[in-house]
Structure formats: structure tokens, C-alpha cells
Amino acid sequence: MRILIADDSEIVRSALVAIILQAGPGHVCAEAADGLQALERAQDVRPDLVLLDINMPRANGLEVARRLRKDMPQVAIFVMSQNDAAMLLPGAKEAGADGCLDKSDIVPGLMRSLKDVEDRKSSDVKGGA
């Protein structure tokens, strides 16, 4: 599974890369420090999963999610926030995201998200065979 991480904090991006490396089901194929860079990188690498910080310069995570959903309907999109993810979920879903992850509890949320995307990819392959 190819994963794009978009967050304006280099520390957060590095931590997510480390978590994903340890988790095993995928690899980070690109990183972005702002929303417009995330859109450019997504077009270049065609990820299976995009992790978007909700508050980024040049385009916020919800704007990016909307555009990605339109341009790449098959990609899994999860918005990340330091705030209450449950409160942000309706807006994230409306923007086209598959879910919202709380950065304060990122490891279990990310593990579930990776498994869900992997399961979905497996069922798509089996369903198309």
C-alpha cells in the first residue's frame, strides 16, 4: 500500500513514517508540507492512502480531501487533527474523507485505518478476479 503523508510539521511526518514502517502493511511513497504540495504529490505518486493534517498552509486538509475525492475517487483519505476528531468527522466526511484521526491517539487510529484500507484493497482484488 502506497501512503502519502501531508502535515506541515516535519516532526509529525517523521513520527508517522516510523509508525507506518513498524506497522508493515504499507510504505510512505511521498510527504508534503502543505495542501497544494499534497495535491501535486498525490498526482505524481497515485497513493492508495492519504493522511492529511486538517490545518495546513496553502490549502487545508478538507480542501485537499475534496479535490482528491473528485480527482482520485479510489484513494482512501484520512484527515488528522489535534482537536476532537469525532467533532470534525461530519465535516471531514462531507469533504470526502473516509475518516478522521485524533493525533493525540494516532497509533491505534492509524493501525485501524491501515488495516481497513488493506482489507478494502484485498476485497477489491478478490471482487475483480
* Domains contained in the chain, CATH given: 2-128 (3.40.50.2300)
- Across the strands, what pairs with 4? 30, 50
Which residue is associated with the grid cell 480527482?
71
pLDDT level of residue 72 (50, 70, 90 thresholds):
very high
pLDDT at 68: 97
pLDDT, mean of residues 21-34? 88
pLDDT at 37: 97
C-beta of residue 97 within 8 angstroms of C-beta of residue 71: no
pLDDT, mean of residues 75-88? 84
Q: Which three cell numbers stand for residue 85?
A: 476528531
- pLDDT over 80 at 122, yes or no: no
pLDDT level of residue 48 (50, 70, 90 thresholds):
very high
Q: How much of the chain is helix, strand and coil, in % rounded to 5?
A: 55, 20, 25
The contacts of residue 96 (CB under 8 Å, 6+ apart) are 65, 66, 68, 69, 70, 77
- In sign, the C-alpha dihedral spanning 125, 106, 28, 8 is positive
Q: How many CA atoms lie within 13 A of 22 on its CB side?
A: 10
